[in-house]
Chains A and B, each alone.
Chain A
Amino acid sequence: DSGVTQTPKHLITATGQRVTLRCSPRSGDLSVYWYQQSLDQGLQFLIQYYNGEERAKGNILERFSAQQFPDLHSELNLSSLELGDSALYFCASSPTPDRGGGLAGSGGYNEQFFGPGTRLTVL
Chain B
Amino acid sequence: AQKITQTQPGMFVQEKEAVTLDCTYDTSDPSYGLFWYKQPSSGEMIFLIYQGSYDQQNATEGRYSLNFQKARKSANLVISASQLGDSAMYFCAMREGLYSGAGSYQLTFGKGTKLSVIP
Contacts and interface: CB of A to CB of B under 8 A. Distances in A.
B108 A45 contact: yes
B50 interface: yes
Interface stretch (A21-29, A62-70, A113-121): A113-121
B60 A105 contact: yes
Among A31, A90, A112, A117, the one with the most B-chain Cβ atoms within 10 Å of its Cβ is A112
Nearest to B98: A100
Interface string B89-100: 001010100111
* Range of interface residues on B (Cβ < 8 Å): 35 or more
A18 interface: no
A114 B55 contact: no
B18 interface: no
B50 A48 contact: no
B44 A114 contact: yes
B43 A117 contact: yes
Contacts, number: 96
Interface residues of A, number: 36
Interface string A1-44: 01000000000000000000000000000010101000000111
Contacts of A112: 35, 47, 107
B50 A43 contact: no
9 contacts: A42-B110, A43-B93, A43-B112, A45-B106, A100-B31, A100-B101, A107-B35, A110-B98, A119-B43
Interface of A: 2, 31, 33, 35, 42-45, 48, 55-56, 58, 88, 90, 92, 94, 97-98, 100-108, 110-117, 119
Given A43-B91, A97-B103, 4 more contacts: A100-B101, A104-B59, A107-B47, A112-B47
